[in-house]
């Protein structure tokens, strides 16, 4: 994610995409960590369905990008910034048709490509993508095509990857320059993990079911002599970067996910040849997606929490600059209002809890709609951040207690979700929205209350770790 267009060094997200036949229950799953600043609150909101009488127009507060919008805006959820002064950054959500979208996985294009098709200073950027795409599409593929058309017409000010899903398909979209883009459907039996670099590899221009792209991209590449291997068309090689920052900053996170899901190999964490699409050695669950986004090279020398000389060698997946982490799960054989679950972890994923919210909700808890700078004890974002801050200084002493509490909350949330699913299936169309809203509010409260208890315990247990401590003679 990039909060300001002249500060791309802040970009730092990690994504996961899983096809429906690769999951234990037939769900499609997409998820991402939104990383930018250690203290930068996020909110969670619902935009209700609206039908306007006049033409609507989007005007960016981040740059001069603007475009007309349809008069009908479908309902959608989003996680915007606490302030819109640098842009909305709505980042992720579901719309009323059961389409999931997460934007964006920031990436980088090479200078040869940008010399031929520079980024557009006032083109669309991450901050606007959810807002101008998600409310106006009915399938994941429609989302890909709408975003592609916008980039072709207006250009983009960034190089980005965008995740789309519906109940049947998962797509990954990448912009590689000012106007050129490609997208690949994740095969139903496969997954992909992505980390701040262009990821899509060989494009089959005759396979329109699995690849979408700018219609002139082949001509653009040929005319500008950008392809060093003309017998194939590898988007990553042609458009992407290949430098030390990739090997230290990005590829280790991809390597870690592939080692966890597909089995251990002799591949190096710094390999530039890791595959984009992989098959797992087992069926994956929503827990696997969440565990990946909350991971930090555990049980390896690269874990920042151990004392190895290599513990800071690679950038971990879960880190202090995560504002929120989300997993968008669409389960089979359910009404979309029930099937689509937005699992939302405010703050650092490894120190937070993924709370499930049904797509059919009409509102979000008040605690999720507040929170600014500085700290606000009533804000959901700040409650989860505070727990992590209290843990940070004493991982060795308090980590086990923290993890036990996380696990207990996770078990309770999953039990509740199963019960709510069963009861929701018997509700009629009029009852369902209110029921799902109350159910989601209850699960959010369970988690928040649990974390307030955890914070109280952390404060209590931390009082004896003061540097001013001294073994006192009880007789004095």
Cα–Cα distance, 365 to 143 (Å, whole number): 28
What would you report as the CA-atom Rg of the chain, rounded to the nearest whole angstrom?
22
CB-based burial label for 227 (10 Å; 0-12, 13-18, 19+): middle
Of the residues 2, 3, 12, 13, only one is catalytic, namely: 13
Cα–Cα distance, 91 to 80 (Å, whole number): 7
Active site annotation includes 157: no
* E-assigned strand segments in 166-288: 170-175, 181-185, 191-194, 211-213
Cα–Cα distance, 448 to 334 (Å, whole number): 28
Cα–Cα distance, 47 to 275 (Å, whole number): 38
Q: Which of 159, 161, 156, 157 is nearest to 144 (CA)?
A: 161
Cα–Cα distance, 226 to 122 (Å, whole number): 25
Q: What is the CA 170 to chain-centroid distance, rounded?
A: 14
* Catalytic residue positions, numbered: 13
């Amino acid at each position: 994610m990039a909060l300001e267009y002249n500060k791309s060094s802040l970009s730092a997200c990690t994504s996961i995409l899983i096809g429906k036949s690769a999951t234990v229950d037939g769900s499609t799953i997409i998820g991402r960590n939104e990383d930018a600043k250690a203290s930068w609150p996020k909110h969670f909101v619902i935009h209700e369905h609206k039908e306007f009488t006049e033409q609507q127009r989007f005007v960016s507060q981040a740059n001069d990008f603007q475009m007309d919008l349809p008069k009908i805006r479908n309902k959608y959820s989003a996680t915007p910034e606490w302030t819109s002064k640098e842009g909305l950054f709505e980042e992720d959500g579901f719309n009323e048709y059961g389409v999931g979208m997460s934007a964006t996985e920031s990436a980088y294009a090479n200078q040869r490509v940008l010399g031929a098709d520079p980024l557009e200073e006032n083109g669309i950027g991450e901050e606007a993508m959810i807002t101008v795409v998600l409310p106006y599409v009915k399938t994941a593929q429609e989302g890909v095509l709408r975003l592609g058309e916008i980039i072709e017409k207006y250009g983009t000010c960034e190089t980005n990857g965008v995740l789309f899903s519906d109940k049947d398909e998962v797509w990954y979209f990448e912009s590689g320059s000012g106007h050129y883009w490609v997208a690949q459907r994740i095969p139903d039996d496969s997954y992909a993990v992505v980390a701040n670099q262009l990821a899509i590899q060989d494009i089959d221009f005759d396979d329109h079911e699995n690849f979408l792209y700018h219609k002139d991209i082949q001509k653009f590449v040929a005319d500008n002599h950008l392809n060093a291997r003309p017998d194939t068309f590898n988007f990553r090689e042609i458009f992407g970067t290949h430098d030390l920052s990739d090997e230290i900053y990005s590829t280790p996170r991809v390597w870690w996910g592939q080692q966890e899901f597909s089995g251990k190999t002799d591949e190096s964490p710094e390999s530039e040849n890791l595959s984009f699409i992989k098959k797992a050695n087992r069926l994956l669950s929503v827990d696997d997606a969440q565990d990946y986004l909350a991971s930090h090279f555990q049980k390896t020398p690269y874990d920042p929490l151990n004392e190895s000389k290599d513990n800071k060698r690679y950038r971990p997946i879960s880190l202090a600059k995560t504002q929120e982490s989300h997993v968008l799960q669409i389960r089979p054989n359910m009404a979309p209002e029930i099937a689509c679950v937005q699992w939302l972890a405010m703050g650092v994923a490894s120190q937070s809890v993924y709370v499930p919210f049904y797509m059919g909700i009409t509102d979000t808890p008040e605690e999720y709609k507040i929170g600014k700078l500085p700290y606000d004890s009533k804000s959901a974002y700040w409650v989860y951040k505070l727990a992590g801050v209290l843990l940070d200084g004493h991982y060795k002493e308090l980590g086990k207690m923290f993890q036990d509490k996380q696990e207990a909350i996770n078990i309770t949330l999953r039990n509740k979700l199963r019960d709510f699913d069963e009861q929701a299936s018997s509700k009629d169309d009029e009852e369902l929205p209110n029921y799902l809203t109350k159910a989601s509010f209850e699960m959010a409260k369970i988690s928040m209350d649990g974390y307030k208890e955890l914070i109280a315990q952390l404060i209590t247990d931390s009082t004896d770790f003061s540097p001013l401590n001294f073994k006192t003679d009880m007789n004095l």
